[in-house]
Amino acid sequence: EVQLVESGGGLVQPRGSLRLSCAASGFTFSSYWMSWVRQAPGEGLEWVANIKQDGNERYYVDSVKGRFTISRDNAKNSLYLQMNSLRAEDTAVYYCARSFVNRYFDLWGRGTLVTVSS
Amino acid sequence: DIQMTQSPSSVSASVGDRVTITCRASQGISSWLAWYQQKPGKAPKLLIQTASSLQSGVPSRFSGSGSGTDFTLTISSLQPEDFATYYCQQGNSFPFTFGPGTKVDIK
């Protein structure tokens, strides 16, 4: 089955860190750009980061630059998001998404909730 | 950054109605636009990409049009399973940005 499964979310204090993981299966993971997209409670969608197939190109939304790092391990069919210096405004469901022609998101995981609160 | 706006923000409609949602980009994005459907508690689903290309498995009652800055999503005959929130997204340049969403609910 073609799927993405996120893990690693939870409650973290402001200025804390968290690492999200996404396990891909059912498709050739190494052939696709991959992305993280988030959605704050009751809000819309926000693209967070993209990473190229070989990991050599990465792009971020300005609000997370310098704090978040997207990475991947093609041997493990896994995508990661290292989140440091977390803020209350980072509270959201984080979705792992497969990037279609590096412009859209054609396969999504179920999401993992990150709550930043003291 | 390219800002995306949608109208209306919500629409109440009945089964069988024709529904049109508009999306506008703050600058030209050629045809690099996608539409997603999201139901409560679920991940978004890609419906249409490159403004008018229907994703495999998406019913033909969904259609998209437009280029440049103005785009539309049309549902020709609303079905019960179509009640959801719809988002547009520009894929022209980083950072990719989404519209605020249009909620389609039951009249």
> Chain B partners of A102 at a C-beta cutoff of 8 Å?
91
Cα–Cα dist B15/B35, whole Å? 21
The list of chain A residues with pLDDT below 70 reads: none
Q: Which pLDDT score is estimated for B107? A: 86
Please say whether the beta carbons of B5 and B102 come within 8 A: no
pLDDT, residue B106, reads 86
One-letter amino acid for residue B100 of the chain: P
- d(C-alpha A117, C-alpha A13), whole Å: 5
At B38-73, the pLDDT tens digits run 999 999 999 999 999 999 999 999 999 999 999 999
- Chain A residues close to B87, C-beta within 8 Å: 44-45
B27 and B85 in contact (C-beta within 8 Å)? no
DSSP code per residue over B13-75: E-TT--EEEEEEESS--TT-EEEEEE-TTS--EEEEETTTEEPTT--TTEEEEEETTEEEEEE
| Residue contact B45–A108, C-beta within 8 A | yes
**In angstroms, rounded to a whole number, what is the distance separating the alpha carbons of residues B90 and B104?**
21
- Spatial separation of the C-alpha atoms in residues A10 and A114, rounded to whole Å: 5
Locus of tokens 């999504």: A108
- Determine, for residues A61 and B89 on separate chains, whether the beta-carbon distance falls below 8 Å: no
pLDDT of B4 > 90? The answer is: yes
Residue A21 is which amino acid?
S
Q: Of chain B residues 40-99, which have a CB less than 8 A from chain A?
A: 42-46, 49, 55, 87, 89, 91-92, 94-99
Question: Residue A44 and residue B91: Cβ atoms within 8 Å?
Answer: no
pLDDT above 70 coverage of chain B, percent = 100
pLDDT of the residue at A75: 98
Confidence of residue B89 (pLDDT cuts 50, 70, 90): very high
Chain B residue with minimal CA distance to A36?
A: B96
Set of chain A residues whose Cβ sits within 8 Å of the Cβ of B101: 44-45
CB contact under 8 A, A44 and B32: no
Predicted local distance difference test score (pLDDT) of residue A42: 95
Q: Check CB contact under 8 Å for A100 and B46.
A: yes
